[in-house]
Amino acid sequence: MSDQDESGGGDATVEGESAGAGDGSEATPVDGDAGSRTDGATGEAATDAADEFDGEVDEALVERVAESDPADVARELASLRTRIDGLEGELEAKESENEDLTEKLKRKQADFQNYKKRMEKRREDEQQRATADLVTRLLDVRDNLKRALDQDEGTDIRGGVESTLRQFDDELAQENVDVVEPEPGEDVDPHRHEVLVRVDSDQPEGTIAEVHRPGYVMADSVLREAQVTVSDGSGEE
The proportion of the chain whose per-residue pLDDT surpasses 70, expressed as a percent, equals 74
Q: What is the mean pLDDT of the chain?
A: 77
What CATH code is carried by the domain that includes residue 208? Answer: 2.30.22.10
In 27-69, which ranges are continuous DSSP H helix?
A: 27-52, 59-66
Q: Model pTM?
A: 0.47
Can you tell me the mean pLDDT for 38-62?
56
Model confidence at 9, pLDDT cuts 50, 70, 90, reads very low
Model confidence at 169, pLDDT cuts 50, 70, 90, reads confident
Q: Which domain holds residue 199?
A: 177-237
Question: Residue 68: pLDDT above 50?
Answer: yes
Model confidence at 100, pLDDT cuts 50, 70, 90, reads very high
Positive or negative CA dihedral for 149, 150, 151, 155?
A: positive
Tell me if 84 is assigned to some domain.
no
Question: For the chain, what is the domain count?
Answer: 1
Tell me if 199 is assigned to some domain.
yes
Question: Residue 29: pLDDT above 60?
Answer: no
Question: Residue 5: pLDDT above 50?
Answer: no
What is the DSSP secondary structure assignment for residue 186, as one 8-state letter?
A: P
pLDDT digits 0-9 by tens, 135-150? 888 888 888 888 888 8
Model confidence at 105, pLDDT cuts 50, 70, 90, reads very high
Tell me if 4 is assigned to some domain.
no
pLDDT for res 144? 85
Tell me if 119 is assigned to some domain.
no
Residue 73 contacts by C-beta under 8 Å, 6 or more apart in sequence?
Answer: 42, 45, 49, 65
